[in-house]
Each structure stands twice: as C-alpha cells, then as structure tokens.
Amino acid sequence: MAEHSHRPCPFCPSSDGFSYSTETGLFRCFVCEASPKSKRGLCFDGNTLTEFKDQQEQEVGITLEPYYRHYRSIPEKIYEKFGVYFTKLGDKESMHYTYPNATKTRQLPKYFTAQGTLDHFFGQEDYNGGKIITITEGEIDRLSVITMMGDWPCVSVPSANPSKQFWVNAREYLRHFDKIVLSVDSDEPGDKLAEKFFKLFPGKVYRVNHGKHKDANAFLQEGEQQEYKTAWWNAQKVKPDNVNTTAEDFLKVYDETPNYEYFKTGISGLDDKMLGIHKGALTMILAPTGLGKTQVFRYLEYQCYKQGNYSLAFCHAEEVELTSLLGLVSYELQTNVIRKDLIEEKNLEKEVKETLKKFGDSERLYQFKIALDADVDDIVEEVRFLATAMGVDFFFIEPIQDFISGDTSTKENKLTDLVNKLKRLAPELNVGILFIAHANEDGEAKYCKSLTQSVAYEIFIDRDLESENQETRNTTFISVGRKNRTGGGSGPAGGLLFDLDSYTLSPVESANVIESPKPVTRVVDEGDIPF
C-alpha cells in the first residue's frame, strides 16, 4: 500500500500536514483536520480530489461517506459516539479509529495502517482521571467493554508493542487514576503488557481473568455480558511471577518449600554446623595440593551411598576409573583393595567383583567422565542429563580447575562462568553439587578467587605434615568457611583419620582442628598417607 505524508494540503495553507493513501483514497490533514469523514464523498488519488455522486457510487460500488454498522456485536451508536467509522473503496472495507494525534485504519479483516503518531491511548481524551480505568489491548475490545460495562473510563493501547514515547505519555496520563484494570488478551503479548504496566504502577494494577475467552469482545459475541462483569469485578492484582507480595504468596512459599535435604557426613562438628551435605546447593571443598582432597571426597561419596536414600555421580579427573571404584570398594570391605596387586595378594577378587556388582545393581552410583578441555556448557549439560534422565541427587566433581584449559585470565573467566551456571542449576534441579578446588598459598581458590562468592557452603581441609606425631600427620582437619547457608557458623568442624590398612578415613572427635588452610610443606615419611 502506497502511503504518502508531509504533503501540501488542498484544503488549507499547510505545506506538510497532509497524508494520503493512493490505494484506499483515504486522507487526513493534521492542520485543518480534513478527512473523508469531514469531506463527504471525496477521495484523493495523489493528484486530484474526486467526488463520487450517489449514482456513480451505486454503479462502481464505492462508498466514501462514513457509515456505521453492527460489527462484532458492538452497537452502531457506540461506534458513532466514540469516533469509529467505516468506509468502502471497491470491495475493500476499512475501519477508522481516531487517536489524539493520528488516525488508525484497519482494512478488514486485519491489515493496519496509520496516519500520524500512535503514541497515546485510544479514547484517552474522553477521560481526565478518576477512581478506576480499564485498559484493553485493542480498539474493538475497548468498545466491547464499554458496551458491557457502561461508559466507565476505558481506553486501549494502540498495539501490543507500543512505542517508548507511548509509555512516557501513558505514565503521565495514568497517574490521575487510582486503580488500573487490565482487560488484555490471554496470551504472551498480553502477559508482557501486564508486566509493563505493573512496573509503571506497582500495587495498583489489576487484571481481568478472561477464562476460556481470549479477549473482551469474545464475551460480547457469546452473549456473556454478565460473566464479563463478574470477571471484571474479580480482577486480581498484577505482579510478575518472580515477585512475592501477597499473603497467599508468602504462605505458598512456606508450604511449597521443602525442608533441607541432605546426607549426614558422620563428622559431628561438620554436621552440627551444616547439618550435612545439601541438595539444591553448591558446596566447595578447598585445600592446597597434596593434602588428600580426593580421599575426603571418597569418604563423603561413601557416606552418601551407604545411607541408601540418594543416588550419586562422581568424576575424579586425577585418577583412573578403576582407582575411583576400588576406593569405594575399600570402604565397603574395610580393607585396602585400591590396586589389583593388593586384591590378588589378599585373595579378594571374588569379594571385590561382588561389591562392584552390588554397586551396579543398586542403580545409585554413576561414574562419569568430563574431558579436560570440555566447554563450560558441555559440563553443565552433562550434569543436567544425569540429574534429569538418571535421577542423580548428588554430584562429586574434582578438581574443578582441571576441567578448564587456557591461560590464567581465560581459566578465571571460564571457571566463573561454570560455577555460576552450576549455582543456578543446583536449585533448579534440586541436586547437590560438590566440587574440590585447589587453593593457593593464601588460601584462595587457584585461578579464580571469586569461586567462594558463588557457593552456598565452603569447607576447608588441611593436614599438618610437619608434625612429629604420625597420627596428627595422618589426620585431615575440617573447618567450615564463611559461606554456610544453614547459619550454623564457621570454624573448626572435626577431623578424619586415615587408616592405611583399610585405606579409609574415619571421623576423629578429638582432632586438633586447624581453622583454615595454611601453606604447608610436604614431608615424606614412611608413615605418611600415600596420596
């Protein structure tokens, strides 16, 4: 459709106020207000104004005189009262809506053009303020509401996605009303409009529930005027899904939020402070290199498994798959079967295989791999898959820095991205994610000091490798960091004593606990733990 604007007006001295369409013959001057409505029987083809006589109109089927009809169940008097009229050019019929600064044309059934700027509500000049105003998503719906409710303040947005200037004008106009009732379409654009109005006027925006109907006009056409009135009077206060404000919202949060889900670690100090290792949260175990982090992880894996309520998935980047499995078997058999030669020496191959079969038959243990150069999203999706498809409750991943390649700055960015995504994933899927992070000499996470900011729980481990006492050297000291969502405080939380014969850790209540990691020097001694 060829539209022309900012042209000289043939009716007044204006040099740029005239707009017209060569296809429909419709025109408007924004200076003198000339239009087919005011200039009966005229159309404009771009060169001349043409007048059609009654006989000619009948012969060629052209009507330019504004007229009204009972369309979409809206009475003709409503159309006439609120400045909506019809015209016909050939077999093309159009509706025209008069806005404060524009005329909007709807060529039936649904092709829209506009002359002027649609930056105000349709019908806003009819109301200057008051107690309540209803806002619809279309002109037809506005007229439908007025037909059903009476001439209470009711306006329409010019489109489902109005301009920025419209919102500026709307804010100024709507502040003169105490309550805003939205009767917008029951679809995504309607939802977005509702959210936008809420942001402009939080607390005073309500929305009509259309139920089975898409919009207000559907009520009118079905003859359900009383049903619409009931829905209108029962309009509910609008708020985005991510905002809780009503009593119902708060009670729903209380009723639908489960208690903490966790497994006990068996370390009384740690369980006292944190309750245990939690689902729906990210937990970091932090320690310098060479202090037995993997053994601590394996201890926690076994504690999770033996309680029988949860399934777990584990990935140990720094050891072969068999070692990870045999580490768990050692806990189950309470004897060191960490290597095949030890198994043969102790004549325990049958017992080991039976235990591995038991692990597999339980369908609660999942060993998975992550490529050391995997993309962040690949790691996240692997966790998502195991949680969603396999029903995994807890993930054990270590050490997290080993899965990220690149130079120092690249690793920091990737680690931050990974941990932030895992942080969001844990509550979304209601899974517990534990990871081990290498610590620098200052006790901060290697390559990425910001890791602590993303976790819900922070656990430090350390060993005094310089002690003259063998038991002390073989004790892993546990402390809880500042990140502890349960509010149980931080500080010393017990210890784990390593037994070489069984190759397992067990809680030590009397451990001389170290409060936080400190730089240590590895001292090799015959009695030291071989890991």
As for how many domains the chain has, the answer is 3
Residue 170 host element (H or E): helix 164-174
The whole domain housing 291 covers 262-508
Q: Is 341 exposed, middle or buried (0-12, 13-18, 19+ CB in 10 A)?
A: exposed
Q: What's residue 511's pLDDT?
A: 44
Q: Do 463 and 385 share a domain, yes or no?
A: yes
Query: Is 184 a domain residue?
Result: yes
CB 492 within 8 A of CB 509: no
What is the per-residue pLDDT for 518?
43
Statement to judge: residues 102 and 178 lie in one domain: no
Same domain, 81 and 134: no
Give Cα separations from 75 to 26, 140, 144, 213 (angstroms): 25, 12, 9, 21
CB 257 within 8 A of CB 251: no
The answer on 396 and 438 residing in a single domain is: yes
CA nearest to 500, candidates 525, 464, 520: 525
* CA dist., res. 21 & res. 4, Å (int): 6
Does 29 map to a domain?
yes
Please report whether residue 518 resides in a domain.
Answer: no
Supply the Cα-derived Rg of the chain in whole angstroms: 37
In angstroms, the Cα distances linking 529 to 203, 290, 425 are 64, 10, 36
Same domain, 292 and 215: no
- Could you tell me if 275 and 375 lie in one domain? yes
Same domain, 357 and 493: yes
Q: Is residue 392 part of a domain?
A: yes
Alpha carbon 418 to its chain's center:
18
Q: Is residue 527 part of a domain?
A: no
SS3 518: coil
- pLDDT for position 54: 43
Shared domain check, 305 and 205:
no
Task: Please state, in angstroms and rounded to a whole number, the distance separating the CA atoms of residues 209 and 231.
Answer: 6
Shared-domain flag, residues 235 and 296: no
Residue 208 backbone dihedrals phi, psi, to 5 degrees:
-75, 130
The CATH number linked to 402 is 3.40.50.300
Length of the chain: 531
For 229, the token pair is: 């009135």
Let me know if residue 325 belongs to a domain.
Answer: yes
Query: Residue 342: CB partners within 8 Å, gap ≥ 6?
Result: 336
User: Which residues share a beta bridge with 522?
Assistant: none
Is 522 part of any domain? no
| Lookup: tokens for 204 | 């005073």
What is the number of H-type helices and E-type strands within the chain?
Answer: 17, 26
Q: What is the 3-state secondary structure (H, E, C) of 392-444?
A: CCEEEEECHHHHCCCCHHHHHHHHHHHHHHHHHHHHHHCCEEEEEEEECCCCC
Q: In sequence order, which residues have a C-beta less than 8 Å from that of residue 473 and are 6 or more positions away?
A: 463, 464, 465, 467, 523, 525, 527, 528, 529
Question: At a CB cut-off of 8 Å and minimum separation 6, what does 78 contact?
Answer: 143, 146, 147
The pLDDT score that the predictor gives to residue 283 is 93
222 and 302 inside one domain = no
CB atoms within 10 A of CB 395: 25
- Residues 196, 282, single domain; the answer is no
Are 209 and 234 in contact by the 8 Å Cβ rule? The answer is yes
pTM for the model: 0.57
Structure tokens at 131: 């107690």
Measured CA to CA, the distance from residue 79 to residue 87 in angstroms comes to 13
Per-residue pLDDT for the chain (531 aa), expressed as one digit of tens each? 467 777 777 777 777 778 877 766 677 788 777 776 666 556 666 666 665 444 444 444 455 667 788 899 999 999 999 989 888 877 788 889 988 888 888 888 878 888 888 899 999 999 988 999 999 999 999 999 999 999 899 999 998 888 889 998 998 999 999 999 999 988 888 888 888 898 888 888 999 999 999 999 999 999 999 999 999 999 988 876 667 767 777 888 888 777 788 999 999 899 999 999 999 999 998 888 778 888 999 999 999 999 878 999 999 988 899 999 999 999 999 999 999 999 999 999 999 999 999 999 999 999 998 877 778 888 898 999 999 989 999 999 988 877 777 666 777 788 888 889 999 999 989 999 999 887 776 667 766 667 777 888 999 988 888 888 888 889 999 999 888 888 888 889 999 999 999 999 999 865 444 444 443 333 333 344 443
